[in-house]
Structures are given as C-alpha cells and as structure tokens.
C-alpha cells in the first residue's frame, strides 16, 4: 500500500489538517473531493472510493470528520481503509472523542502522530501503546528538554516494552459474546450468529509468558477428553502476540501480552441458538388518526440469568405526536429525533414475559414522502453467561522473576446487531 497524502476534512470538506507524505499528488486535488462526493451522492452512486483524473480518494467518515487518503497507485484498498481506521483508533485513545473540535484543539499532537504513523506513504508505528510512550498528551506542558527515548522501537517484541513494573500483578479476562440476529417480519429467523472476543487487561511486570486454556473441542479431541463439555470455535483470529504455529500444532494459546488493554482473540459460532430476547410486535397504523403499538418481549434464556439494561427501540412514523404508554415493567420514552419509542427494562430475568403498549396520534394531513420500515432493535447485556458455553479453564503466567499473579475471569453476553423487521 502507499498513500500519497492523508487529509482530515470537516463536514463541509474543508481541510482541517493534512500531511503530504509522498509529494506525488498535488495537495490541491483535495478540492475536488467534496464536490465529487456530493455529486455521487445525488446520483445514488456513492462509494468509499472516488476518483478524479489519476487520483483516487479512499475515504471514511467518523462523527463530523472525513478522513481521506489520496493515491495515484493501484493501491490495496483494504489496507488503506485499515490504516485510516487505525488512525482514528489512535486519535481516539489520545482524545477520547474524535471530532472537529478535538482536532482543532490538539493540532500539535495530531501533527506529531501523523508524522509517526506514516512515512513516505507507508505505515510505520501504529500501536497506540508504543506511541503513547514518546508522544504524550502532556506535551503541551513545558518539558525540561529531556525527552524520553522510545524504548520499544528497538525491541524484538514490538508490542511490549521492557522494564514494566507493577506492585500487584494481575490479569483480567473478559469473555464477551455478541449476538447478531436478523428476524423477518413473519417471525422467521434469517440470521443468527455469535461473535466472541476475549479481551485482556494486563497488569504484569516484566516479560511474562502466558498460556490460556479453553474448552476448545478440537483440543479436547486431540487429548482424548471428548466427553467433557466443549465448544467448537470457528474462524478464530488472534492478536499478533499469539504464536500461531503453536496453536496450529497443538491448539495451545501462548503469548507475551502487550501491557494494558487489548483483544487477545475473536471467534465466531454460527450454530443456531434460540434468540435470547424474543419480540412479538403489532404496529397498527390508522391513517390520519393514530398508531397503536403492542410489543411483547420474552426472555428465552436460563431462569438463573438476568439481562441488564434492556432497551427495545420500536420505530414510529416521523409525524406521530401525543404519545401515551403503558408498560408491565420498565419505562417507555419517545425519542422524536430518532423516530423511535425506547422501552427500557433495568433487569429482565430469563423466562419472563413483558408487555408494552403505545399509542400515538397522527396528523389528519398525510405527509408526502413514503417512509421506510425500520426494524425493531434490542440492546441487552447478560452477565455471568455465555451463549456458546465457552470456558476459561486456566491461565498460566510464568515470569522469570517468579512472581505469583492472579487471573480474573468475567463472562458477558450482549446484543450485537440485533434486529427484528416490522411489516
């Protein structure tokens, strides 16, 4: 891949900050970007890749910003997009939220980061943990002139610095499973999948060697324990630190972790599971007068588990008014700017069934334009529970200084893209 320059534009297409890496595409070419984008949008042919003459614009949008990479080469698109997303990720770690204001307020750091992220159009150091070691946010304060030498840039293990010290050595393991669901208006499940991630929070001194044991079916079959309860993982992906060759050989997950938060691995299960929260809805629209909504939600998971922070958003016509609600539990709220009713239930035990009714008025003069049929969306979180039944069997931590470290494990199942279409 090779990008000639990277631009950050405001929502009107005005460059906020830019960096010319290669100098083979004139910087003024960016002026064509926004008119082109608007034109394509009007034609209904907008794509994340636009071209003007010999320049290609690869762009992504983040809140009220456009990030645009220009190139004149037949570049590798997925890599360029990955880089732009990586850039956003790094900025977000620095500024918490990335938007026009944060770029304006922090332009010095943005320049510094752009300088380190890429050189001559090629990505260089993009790991925000390493960047944070020598580009600090406090740089606005006066320094005494002794800047730190980036230690890791000379390391063999590029993702971890040497000489890390903690008073208490701990590892927190989060096993998070997101449920993606798409249900047709007639109630048939079109798509149901589980995307699992294992995230680690590492507070360990030195250069520890970690080994993670899961109830992986392939491993159990290899070691002849196939009677035990196990999970068949598909599409497993690891953080760079995991030794892939060892996993391929004997399914051992061994690694030297980066410091702090990171995602160790992700996996996917496409086995059909019963939708955890099932919704039945009746939305009756009486033109010129009113809309009647009835929503029934059912928790289809174990009785011992409880779903927290359940939010069911039900679409309503944009010209609806005077809402009235009745709920058997929780509270409902009309959010006119998103054209939805949000029914929130703080805790929703498995096996229970709840009901909400809503009533809206409609103006007697009907709107001209036709409206789409947005789906009902559901958000929830079920702690101490995984749909797949995955378990962390052990986490071994070995460091040459021989300290004892404690691993903590937490399981959560949550909603991913969870949609039920309405008719």
Partner 1 sequence: MPYLGSEDVVKELKKALCNPHIQADRLRYRNVIQRVIRYMTQGLDMSGVFMEMVKASATVDIVQKKLVYLYMCTYAPLKPDLALLAINTLCKDCSDPNPMVRGLALRSMCSLRMPGVQEYIQQPILNGLRDKASYVRRVAVLGCAKMHNLHGDSEVDGALVNELYSLLRDQDPIVVVNCLRSLEEILKQEGGVVINKPIAHHLLNRMSKLDQWGQAEVLNFLLRYQPRSEEELFDILNLLDSFLKSSSPGVVMGATKLFLILAKMFPHVQTDVLVRVKGPLLAACSSESRELCFVALCHVRQILHSLPGHFSSHYKKFFCSYSEPHYIKLQKVEVLCELVNDEDVQQVLEELRGYCTDVSADFAQAAIFAIGGIARTYTDQCVQILTELLGLRQEHITTVVVQTFRDLVWLCPQCTEAVCQALPGCEENIQDSEGKQALIWLLGVHGERIPNAPYVLEDFVENVKSETFPAVKMELLTALLRLFLSRPAECQDMLGRLLYYCIEEEKDMAVRDRGLFYYRLLLVGIDEVKRILCSPKSDPTLGLLEDPAERPVNSWASDFNTLVPVYGKAHWATISKCQGAERCDPELPKTSSFAASGPLIPEENKERVQELPDSGALMLVPNRQLTADYFEKTWLSLKVAHQQVLPWRGEFHPDTLQMALQVVNIQTIAMSRAGSRPWKAYLSAQDDTGCLFLTELLLEPGNSEMQISVKQNEARTETLNSFISVLETVIGTIEEIKS
Q: Which of residues 362-401 bind partner 1 (CB under 8 A)?
A: 369-375
Identify residues 326-345 at the interface with partner 1 (CB under 8 A): none
Rounded distance between C-alpha atoms, residue 388 and residue 220, angstroms: 16
Element (H, E) at 50: strand 49-52
Query: Does 47 help bind partner 1 (rule: CB under 8 A)?
Result: yes
Q: Under the criterion CB under 8 A, does residue 74 sit at the interface with partner 1?
A: yes
CA angle (195, 277, 420) in 5-degree steps: 80
**From 92-100, 237-245, 252-260, 353-361, span contacting partner 1 (CB under 8 A):** 237-245
The interface mask with partner 1, positions 97-136, x = CB under 8 A, is ----------xx--xx--x---xx-xxxxxx------x--
Q: How far is the CB of 146 from partner 1 (least distance, A)?
A: 8
Answer for which of 11, 38, 48, 326 binds partner 1 (CB under 8 A) is 48
Secondary structure class of 263 (helix, strand, coil): strand
- Which of 416, 318, 309 shows the shortest CA–CA distance to 374? 318
Site for partner 1 in 240-269 (CB under 8 A): 240, 243-245, 248, 266, 268
Footprint on residues 167-196 left by partner 1 (CB under 8 A): 180, 182, 185, 190-191
Direct distance between the N- and C-terminal alpha carbons of the chain, in angstroms, rounded to an integer: 45
Number of residues that bind partner 1 (CB under 8 A): 85
Closest CA to 294 of 334, 326, 270: 326
Q: How far is the CB of 173 from partner 1 (least distance, A)?
A: 18
Give the contact letters, 8-37, x = binds to partner 1 (CB under 8 A), - = no: -------xxx-----xx-x-----------
**Least distance from C-beta 22 to partner 1, angstroms?**
8
- The rounded distance, in Å, linking the Cα atoms of 119 and 406 is 41
Q: Does 85 bind partner 1 (CB under 8 A)?
A: yes
Should residue 62 be labelled a site residue for partner 1 when binding is judged by CB under 8 A? no
Partners of 19 in beta bridges: 6
Among 34, 36, 60, 355, binds partner 1 (CB under 8 A): 60
Residue showing tokens 């029934």: 296
HSE-CB of 84 using CA atoms within 13 angstroms = 24
Residue 42 within binding range of partner 1, rule CB under 8 A = no
* Distances from the Cα of 284 to the Cα of 122, 317, 358, 362, 369, angstroms: 56, 11, 11, 12, 19
Q: What is the DSSP string of 157-213?
A: STT--S----SS-EEEEEEEEEEEEEE-TTS-EEEEEEEEEEEEEEE--SS-EEEEE
Is residue 38 a contact point for partner 1 (CB under 8 A)? Answer: no
Closest contact distance (angstroms) between CB of 329 and partner 1 is 27
39 binds partner 1 (CB under 8 A): no
């Amino acid at each position: 891949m090779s990008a000639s320059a990277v631009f950050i534009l405001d929502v009107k297409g005005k460059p906020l900050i830019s960096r010319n890496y290669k100098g083979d595409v004139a910087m003024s070419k960016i002026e064509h970007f926004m008119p082109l984008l608007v034109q394509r949008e009007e034609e209904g042919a907008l794509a994340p890749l636009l071209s003007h003459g010999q320049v290609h614009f690869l762009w992504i949008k983040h809140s009220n910003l456009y990030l645009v990479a220009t190139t004149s080469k037949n570049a590798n698109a997925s890599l360029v997009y990955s880089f732009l997303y990586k850039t956003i990720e790094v900025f977000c770690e620095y500024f918490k939220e990335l938007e026009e204001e944060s770029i304006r307020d922090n332009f010095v750091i943005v320049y510094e980061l752009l300088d380190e992220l890429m050189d001559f159009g090629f990505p260089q150091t993009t790991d925000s943990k390493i960047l944070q070691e020598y580009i600090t946010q406090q740089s606005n304060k006066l320094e005494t002139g002794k800047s730190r030498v980036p230690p890791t840039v000379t390391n063999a293990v590029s993702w971890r610095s040497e000489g890390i010290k903690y008073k208490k050595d701990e590892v927190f393991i989060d096993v998070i499973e997101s449920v993606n669901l798409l249900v047709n208006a007639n109630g048939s499940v079109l798509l149901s999948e589980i995307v699992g991630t294992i995230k680690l929070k590492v507070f360990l001194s030195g250069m520890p060697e970690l080994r993670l044991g899961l109830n992986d079916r392939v491993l159990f079959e290899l070691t002849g324990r196939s009677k035990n309860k196990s999970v068949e993982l598909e599409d497993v992906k690891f953080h760079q630190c995991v030794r892939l060759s060892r996993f391929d050989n004997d399914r051992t997950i061994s690694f030297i972790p980066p410091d702090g938060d990171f995602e160790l691995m992700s996996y996917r299960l496409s086995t059909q599971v019963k939708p955890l929260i099932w919704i039945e809805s009746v939305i009756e629209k009486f033109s010129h007068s009113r809309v009647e909504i009835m929503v029934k939600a059912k928790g289809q998971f174990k009785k011992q588990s409880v779903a927290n922070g359940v939010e069911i958003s039900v679409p309503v016509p944009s010209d609806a008014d005077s809402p009235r609600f009745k709920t058997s539990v929780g509270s409902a709220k009309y959010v006119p700017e998103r054209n939805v009713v949000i029914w929130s239930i703080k805790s929703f035990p498995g096996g229970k069934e709840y009901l909400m009714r809503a009533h809206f008025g409609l103006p007697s003069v009907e709107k001209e334009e036709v409206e789409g049929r947005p789906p009902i969306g559901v958000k929830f979180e079920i702690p101490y529970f995984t749909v797949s039944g995955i378990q962390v069997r052990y986490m071994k931590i070995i460091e040459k200084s021989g300290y004892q470290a404690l691993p903590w494990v937490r399981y959560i199942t949550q909603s991913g893209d969870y949609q039920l279409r309405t008719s």
